[in-house]
Amino acid sequence: NFDSLNVALKHHVPISTCCSGVYGSDIWGYTSAATGKEWALMCYSTGMSAVDVQTGDVVTAPGFTSPLSPWKDIKVFGHHAYYVTEALDQPGIVVFDLSGLDSDPPSISDVGPAAIDNGGGPESSHNVVVDEVSGYLYRVGGWNDNKNV
């Protein structure tokens, strides 16, 4: 139990259930435009899972693993999720198609790395931000050759 104002705990999903037993690093929401169904997108040290807010069911992208790192972030624009990490072996921004979460059974597709122009800088990022008005996505922070970016 915990005190809260205008917040209702729907489910408690143990980290071992949603996140391969490792710690979490970020959470973001996704609401399907087609069905109105809500999902919590949970980042953890080696990947990402979607948790159904109503049932607590967990969906992962098959075959997707991310380099081990405590720094992950994810944002949504439309039915795509944009995933970043500061891990040095990460291919920039990984794009997931979330439209399969409306299927039975629900699924997430790993679209793959986004084509990005990093100007010769690092491909790792600490955070990602989406301007929902313009549709622009911004990578924020990162690490390369012991220099903050």
Higher pLDDT, 81 or 6: 81
pLDDT at 114: 67
pLDDT score for 1: 63
pLDDT tens readout for residues 23-63:
888 999 999 999 999 999 999 988 899 999 999 999 998 87
- pLDDT tops 70 at residue 73: yes
Which of 33, 29, 13 has its CA nearest to residue 21? 13
Select from 58, 43, 45, 47 the least CA-distant residue to 13. 58
